A and B are shown apart, each in its own frame.
Chain A
């Protein structure tokens, strides 16, 4: 009861006033806090709107790079040399897998992946970043693809990626010119970053590593496309917001004729060596083959260590070496050029004769420089010197010219320098000179050195490609064309203007809504180097005549050819024999036996093709016997059955089956040869 009494005496109005005051104060507090809340939201939604808008978008919008299709590569007749083939690979994003080793084991069981490979994969996975897809198995068979697809739900984080991979249908036949593409490695990505291309390669996995694939990487690669997608918090794509398609790389048409290439391979089979066939009128390389070769496809998928060791094994004759750009002593093949130098410098004339007793001796020196024909050629003039490849004549000539004038002229023919061909494997070789010897060996030049240079020996090395270029210059009478593979580029061009194409055009173009796609082809033009101009242009003919005679009379390989060929043989010694010692191939180590060299061009009157051949370490005979037939087969293929004389390139022959080609067409005598 006591409390009730107390209530009765309580001052209710005072209490009510106190309560009202306190309530008012709390209400003010409520208002202030509300204003703070609102002010904070105002700050977020108005002042910082841009910032949060951007962050919201970067949360949900992702730019997925889409790799462009690499340009295709064709030979001069439209035969596909480098294709893109769909390949299915098994990939994994480690971040999305709970127990990677267990999952990997199960997947391996399903797809029959060996334990050894699993261990390697596991190691690879652990060393890579977790949120990026890692390729586990590069070439799944169709059966494996379907097996995995059915069971995919069991393996979150694992998926099959279908992409186009480079494929070289002619395999080893084209590797030394085409090169190959391979996985972008760290060095590549550093270089791409430096060149500001990293973004353009975001979706690209392979890059040109060698040959034309490397040289024309920028043309072949194309432009990256982007897919702008909306993703949820799991990273799953909800929808596509925008799509910028990639632009395929340009297709390349090469000057190579794959049929000539096949002939080259067959002609060199069982030999180590190289052949380069070139059109002297344009510098187009018609064939370039180095034997042995290897399959560039091996590198596209990442070559296995075992396979790579095989390629490196010396027993397999080092197929990785591109012998068409490797330096060889040119031997007698350069004698016509030396003769030309002599004529140009006025050291000799057409009728200048030297006596060849079988050897040459410098005044005051004991050493005898031997002729290959031990009893000597007797009195020898220019024509005979080239035809018989008389060493003593050229010893005398070189001695009279001295090294500087030789170096000077040979430089003009491109020796000792890059040819400018469009593969980076191009090689300078060694052009002997006083300076070069000092730089290389830190030794002074001796007069005797010049004598060896006179027969294309000594320090001199040239690549078959350089040789082909030099002979082209000679055959062109001084015009210098830069040797090259690339004839034309072509690309699909999309235009949105429908009116541009008439209705008849539409049959040939693919229509995509309002867009038309057209193939635009662009021929590549090459600038010539400044020509070699002789004081007396008749000198060209003197030398060319001598080469013509050589081919017609001395090179049995060209007997009965339908076309009029000119050429020069060469046999390079690789070891220096002791005075008066006789060279015996059978007694010499295989790798030290003579190299056979041969250069030729045809038709003599208006040269269309120059062929340079190098065959290493031959057992029997010299350049004519070993390298000559290679050139002959190439030229036979090149001229085929067509009427020769025409300078029109468009009449180039095509054969249904080159293997049925009859090499010896003895009954079919060439008009020019008679």
Chain B
């Protein structure tokens, strides 16, 4: 193997040797650049915010680069212990976690605070992909049920914090693996049916009042325009008033005059739409789609079931970010705290995302044999 590896070196480009997937990186950098402009505008044109954002981008890029150096198949060794550790940390959060914004998400380690749920965004797809890829595809029903349970445990622990956005992302990352591994359509149909049957139970017993409020607000934001409906109404006004071409960079009145809440974080898409209009939205969605397509291309061309499933799940979860964020900001979905990936200001989720992209790049560049 080593000798063939030596041979391969000759055919590899510089980027491949650096374990960088250039198309993916281009898309990521394009979004980050866009993000710089929008964060500057949304953050009240303050240099301090911009500089902090640039620092985080740099850290995230470094993390991506570092992760990309690790051969992807080696994740499998760590899957089980890290998964178990993750579950322990999530339990610890619920028991001793730091309360912020009405939810327990943070673990105070003394020198830094950190969110175990962020790690689980990567660990869950690795774990499920590892578990499923051990066996023939399509996966048997009994194993699918086990896989489901493996997904459900961290999902429920995070939902309990409560962090609906992250639990949704983690659940989907696991479910994508199961789906891509070829779960039968019949099973998918049954699960869909069960899920819709579960909804009322979720509503009545599991959802917290503030989560219910979000759903109610989503259904009719104008009912309480100054209270719970304020976010979504102002966001829709921002988007709608952007029109075809937008009001121009730094000219968005909804954001510059601070009518729009959470401007530089979760609602940054509204700022973007207001200032760059439908044309800008078209460009943005195209870049996102390009990244998703590249990710799926990497998945299809991966050499191992584990890496295929992992790459597919990471890519699709990235799209879930995009869909949920834009969907909620534009009033299609209830408000759940999901940032606009690679654009929103915000540290932890950006680092996690980029670590995921690092894995994708690793999958794309650590190839053992040529086809």
Contact = CB atoms under 8 A, between A and B. Distances in A.
A525 to B, nearest CB: 53
A238 B257 contact: yes
A15 interface: yes
Contacts of B134: 3, 6
Contacts of A30: 289, 292, 316, 319
A10 B136 contact: yes
Nearest to B330: A40
Interface in B240-283: 240-244, 253-254, 257-259, 273, 277-278, 281-282
A662 interface: no
Interface string B27-67: 00000000000000000000000000000000000000000
Interface stretch (B175-183, B198-206, B350-358, B362-370): B175-183
A37 B300 contact: no
B110 to A, nearest CB: 37
Interface residues of A, number: 42
A55 B316 contact: no
A36 interface: yes
24 contacts: A6-B136, A10-B305, A11-B136, A15-B305, A18-B137, A22-B182, A30-B289, A30-B316, A33-B323, A34-B323, A36-B332, A38-B282, A41-B273, A45-B244, A45-B278, A48-B240, A49-B244, A52-B240, A55-B240, A56-B241, A57-B253, A230-B253, A232-B257, A238-B257
Nearest to B240: A52
A23 B299 contact: yes
Contacts of B288: 34
Given A41-B281, A46-B278, 10 more contacts: A6-B135, A37-B285, A37-B323, A37-B327, A40-B327, A40-B332, A45-B244, A51-B240, A52-B240, A60-B254
Contacts of B135: 6
Contact of A38 (B238, B254, B285, B312): B285
Contact of A45 (B138, B182, B242, B253): B242
A55 to B, nearest CB: 5
Interface residues of B, number: 50
B47 to A, nearest CB: 20
Indicate the member of A22, A45, A56, A230 with the most B CB atoms within 10 Å: A45
B239 interface: yes
B235 to A, nearest CB: 10
B231 interface: no
A49 B253 contact: no
A147 interface: no
Indicate the member of A3, A34, A51 with the most B CB atoms within 10 Å: A34
A36 B330 CA distance: 11
Interface string A12-32: 000110111011001100110
Interface string A44-78: 11101101110111011000000000000000000
Contacts of A49: 240-241, 243-244
Contacts of A36: 332
Which 7 pairs, one residue from A and one from B, show the smallest C-beta to C-beta distance? Answer: A52-B240, A56-B241, A232-B257, A44-B240, A233-B258, A52-B241, A45-B278
Contacts of A31: 289
A233 B179 contact: no
A645 interface: no
A49 B308 CA distance: 43
Nearest to B305: A15
B27 to A, nearest CB: 15
B305 A41 contact: no
A233 B240 contact: no
A16 B303 CA distance: 9
Given A42-B278, A53-B243, A37 B332 contact: yes
A62 to B, nearest CB: 11
A55 B332 contact: no
A39 B233 CA distance: 18
B296 interface: yes
A231 interface: yes
B293 interface: yes
B236 interface: yes
Contacts of A33: 319, 323
Contacts of A59: 234, 237, 253-254, 257, 259
Nearest to A37: B326
Contacts of A34: 285, 288-289, 323
B259 A19 contact: no
A26 B240 contact: no
A23 B297 CA distance: 9
Indicate the member of A11, A48, A52 with the most B CB atoms within 10 Å: A52
Nearest to A47: B240
Indicate the member of A30, A36, A233 with the most B CB atoms within 10 Å: A30
Given A6-B136, A19-B182, A45-B278, A56 B296 contact: no
Interface in B68-105: none
Given A45-B242, A52-B236, A233-B258, A26 B278 contact: no
A31 to B, nearest CB: 8
B238 A56 contact: yes
A15 B239 CA distance: 44
B316 to A, nearest CB: 6
Nearest to B245: A45
Contacts of B289: 30-31, 34
A45 B330 CA distance: 10
A38 B269 CA distance: 13
A11 B138 CA distance: 11
Interface in B316-363: 316, 319, 323, 326-327, 330-332
Nearest to B254: A56
A54 to B, nearest CB: 8
A230 B300 contact: no
Contacts of A233: 257-259
Nearest to A2: B134
Interface in B142-193: 176, 179-182
B314 to A, nearest CB: 12
B72 to A, nearest CB: 16
A272 B48 CA distance: 79
A26 B179 contact: yes
A251 to B, nearest CB: 41
Nearest to A31: B289
Nearest to B279: A45
Contacts of B137: 15, 18-19
Indicate the member of A16, A23, A38 with the most B CB atoms within 10 Å: A23
Contact of B330 (A20, A44, A230): A44
Nearest to A19: B308
A59 B274 CA distance: 14
Given A34-B285, A45-B277, A46-B278, A23 B180 contact: yes
Contacts of B253: 56-57, 59-60, 230
A429 to B, nearest CB: 60
A27 B299 CA distance: 12
A52 B257 contact: no
B257 A60 contact: yes
A27 B293 contact: yes
A489 B14 CA distance: 91
Contacts of A57: 241, 253
Given A44-B330, A48-B240, A18 B182 contact: yes
A45 B258 CA distance: 20
B348 to A, nearest CB: 25
Contacts of B138: 18
A40 B281 CA distance: 11
Contacts of A48: 240
A22 B180 contact: yes
A239 B140 CA distance: 67
B153 to A, nearest CB: 24
Contacts of B332: 36-37, 40
Contacts of A11: 136
Contacts of A26: 176, 179-180, 296, 312, 316
Contacts of B300: 16, 19-20, 23
B239 A41 contact: yes
A56 B281 contact: no
